[in-house]
Chains A and B, each alone.
Chain A
Amino acid sequence: MDFTLNEQQEMLRTSARQFLTKNCPKTLVRQMVADEKGYTQELWEKIAELGWLGLIFPAEYGGAEGSFLDLVVLLEEMGRFCFPGPFFSTAVLGSLPVLWAGTREQKDKLLGKVAKGELILTLAFNEPGTYYSSNISTKALEDRNGYVISGSKIFVPDAHVAHYIICPSRTNGSAGSERGITLFLVSNPAKEITVIPLKTVAGDKQSEITLDKVKVPKDSILGERDGGWELLQKTLQYAMIGKCAEMVGGAQQVLEMAVAYVKERQQFGRPVGSFQAVQHHCANMFLDAEAMRFITYKAAWKVSQGLPSAKEVSMAKAWVSDAYQRVVLRGHQVQGGVGFTEAHDMSLYFKRAKAAQHLFGDAKFHREKIAESLVA
């Protein structure tokens, strides 16, 4: 057993932290919350140059041939810095299914450009009234030239800037049936696609989209026709771990901020961190943060071994979603009034924790999945 990063991963972590310290200050994060687009071209190009966008792509697509565990390390650092922009949508939600199931042509068309920072991808899963389920009613009707897609999607990350939206649509069966779902690579923007940004707590860019008879060619099917559900599930599993990794980095940063503050802040003539009531809050944060990291790494390791890992992934997402919230709330408690101000960094982590805990299923959702396997 080995709970630690290898040498390369340590180097990646160190260089990512150095880069982000310099290039991703909280002033930028705040600007991007207010900004319509949500990222700067300059930073996007820089991370493309660093090879982050193609971190796990094969060399032929301009990739660095890294492993998923490397990507987890990178996402952890991005979470620590509240990295703004469509990295997660592009590198995880969009690229992974293309890597796994894309045809030669699809990969040629997309991955090289993704690695260079020229293409932004995303995935549109939920529809109004659904929650990561197979209740997909967006329809794709076959015609002579390909397919015509109509329907509504909601909470689609970065749809306002994405060049391709992976759109699970029904080609067979009815809402609820896992069979009959097909993933389409839909070019965006298009006049048949309406993108309406949502006003969200974290100021990340999610949208409601309406597809009104969007015509796509036959070769825009990603993976198997009618068999997209498995691909979607696999993508979701990796996305859960990726999101957990971001939360691990965020929690670690909150812990470090809180500890630094209580060492410094004086009341009653001594640092508040010398009071046991405060120390115990910090100790609890530490326990949660450690557990978050280990349970995330374990799930990441297991999926990257190709072992059945649905249960471990659900355990990680459930634990990390709850624990991140605890860490943030205790972080607030020990930093007092100043942490409650909008100008304090804590406000950013609080809001991101809220957003992340619901993404790809919250703790209750995943506990129910675990329960299914326990009492089966």
Chain B
Amino acid sequence: MDFGFSKEELDFGKEVFDYLQKEMTEPVAVECRHWRAAAPGGPYTREFLNKVGNKGWLTPSWPKEYGGLGLPIIYSYIANEKMDYFNIRPPISSSVAGPLIMRCASPELKNKFLPRIARGEVHFALGYTEPQAGSDLSAVDIRAVKTDKGYVLNGQKMFSTHSHIADYHWLLARTNSEVKPRHKGITLFIVDLKSPGISISPIWTMADERTNEVFYENVLVPAENLVGQENRGFYYIMEDLEYERTFAVGHAEHILEQLIDYAKKTARDGKLLSSEPAIRQDLAQLAIDIEVGRLFFYRLADVLRRGTDLMFEGTVSKIFTSELLQREAFFGVNMMGLYGQLQEGSKWAPLEGNIEHLSRECVVESIYGGTNEICRNVIAMRALGLPTG
């Protein structure tokens, strides 16, 4: 049992934190605030991530040959937590596409993509969800037909966030529509989002964030852009989802600091909010929840450093921390009372309307990356061995 960080780990965390704080200019901060679920959300964040990538901090535990720092896995988690504090989620490129490329793609794809991903030069957008394939990803129906020149793709993706900014689509497509069960006919591709035949149109969320519909019309994808083996795509991403579901609590901690500060400075009818017993109880509960969320998060590093695969541990972290963020945001706006409804731009808006925005944005936390109901099914099956229906 050891719940401490080594001196090297603490120093690393401080170095990353200090750098991020220094480089976090107002335009980057604004983009991060508005595009939390979508890093990089815009040109400033892209540039920022490139700087962080050049330090090796997007992928500290990757091997040096692929642009990593060759450090133990916990360093990735430390960097992730520090970035999360500044509202930067790990980009899809380094957190989803990169690890899978490293695990199952051809040497050519590894060499082509991994060093650039590590440097934060290229970005990916997820292309899993379709109108009829949400929680049930085996219903993916975008068609990829093999021809002499490569694969020709037709169909539609949904809720493909930041595909209008990213360079590549990390795409799940159907290569066999006869096979049963359906998930045996799905293949993973890397698609250049500038390919002819792709059109992208925005969908605006109730948190004023942009996500997209992406239409494929006879889009030609070279065969070498197939990741791993044909018809294995579903298996790859199912394994990978467990790794994708790692939710740091840096942001939750930062928000709590701001809420405490607000409660200490704000009086209502002559009484400081921080002296209200009900508010004190909730603040303390959030601090406890953050402690739990952090333990769930670093437990992942502890499992991985032993060379063990994640089975359900990421899912545990995802369920807990997504719901923690929602409790925190709703507590925040409720504590602010009438002022909680004020949006950024109003001179009366507490914390620049940040919590008001978070209270809308957090709704999606328990929906994406596998709804929390799907996640609880995963726990029931993998951790508890309960029978499927």
- Which A residues are closer than 8 A to B by beta carbons? 1-6, 9, 69, 259, 262-263, 270-271, 273-276, 278-280, 282-284, 286-287, 290-291, 294-295, 297-298, 300-302, 305, 312, 315, 318-319, 364, 366-371, 374-375
Contact = CB atoms under 8 A, between A and B. Distances in A.
B1 A69 contact: yes
B387 to A, nearest CB: 4
A3 B305 CA distance: 12
A375 B379 contact: no
A283 B376 contact: yes
A212 B260 CA distance: 49
Given A279-B386, A283-B376, A318-B284, 17 more contacts: A1-B2, A2-B302, A3-B3, A3-B298, A271-B387, A276-B376, A276-B389, A280-B373, A283-B380, A286-B316, A286-B379, A286-B384, A287-B316, A315-B287, A315-B288, A368-B284, A375-B280
B80 to A, nearest CB: 14
Contact of A280 (B298, B299, B376, B387): B376
Contacts of B264: 375
A297 B1 contact: yes
Contact of B389 (A270, A283, A300, A319): A270
7 contacts: A1-B3, A263-B385, A270-B387, A283-B377, A283-B383, A287-B379, A319-B288
B4 interface: yes
A367 B292 contact: no
B384 A259 contact: yes
Contacts of A297: 1, 3
B274 interface: yes
A271 B383 CA distance: 17
B260 A375 contact: yes
A298 B285 CA distance: 17
B296 A294 contact: yes
B329 interface: no
Given A279-B386, A295-B292, A284 B302 contact: no
B370 to A, nearest CB: 13
Contacts of B319: 283, 287
Nearest to A300: B1
Nearest to A9: B1
A275 B389 contact: yes
A5 B1 contact: yes
B288 A263 contact: no
Given A319-B288, A367-B285, A370-B288, A274 B389 contact: yes
Contacts of A305: 4
A2 B385 contact: no
Nearest to B273: A375
Given A282-B380, A282-B384, A375-B274, A2 B1 contact: yes
Interface string B1-31: 1111100000000000000000000000000
A3 B288 contact: no
A291 B283 contact: no
A5 B316 CA distance: 21
Contacts of B3: 1, 3, 297-298, 301-302
Given A275-B389, A283-B380, A367-B281, A3 B287 contact: no
B217 interface: no
A169 B3 CA distance: 37
Contacts of B384: 259, 279, 282-283, 286
B74 interface: yes
Given A1-B302, A294-B292, A297-B1, A276 B387 contact: no
Contacts of B260: 374-375
B11 to A, nearest CB: 16
Which of A294, A312, A318 is the most central at the interface, judged by chain B CB atoms within 10 Å of its CB? Answer: A294
B320 interface: yes
A106 B383 CA distance: 49
B377 A315 contact: no
Interface in B40-81: 74
Contacts of B320: 287, 291
B379 A301 contact: no
Interface in B260-278: 260, 263-264, 274, 277
The 8 closest A-B pairs by CB, nearest first: A279-B380, A371-B280, A367-B284, A370-B284, A283-B376, A283-B379, A294-B295, A2-B2
Contacts of B364: none
Given A283-B380, A291-B292, A370 B386 contact: no
B346 interface: no
A246 B95 CA distance: 39
Contacts of A364: 281
Contacts of B283: 371, 374-375
B301 interface: yes
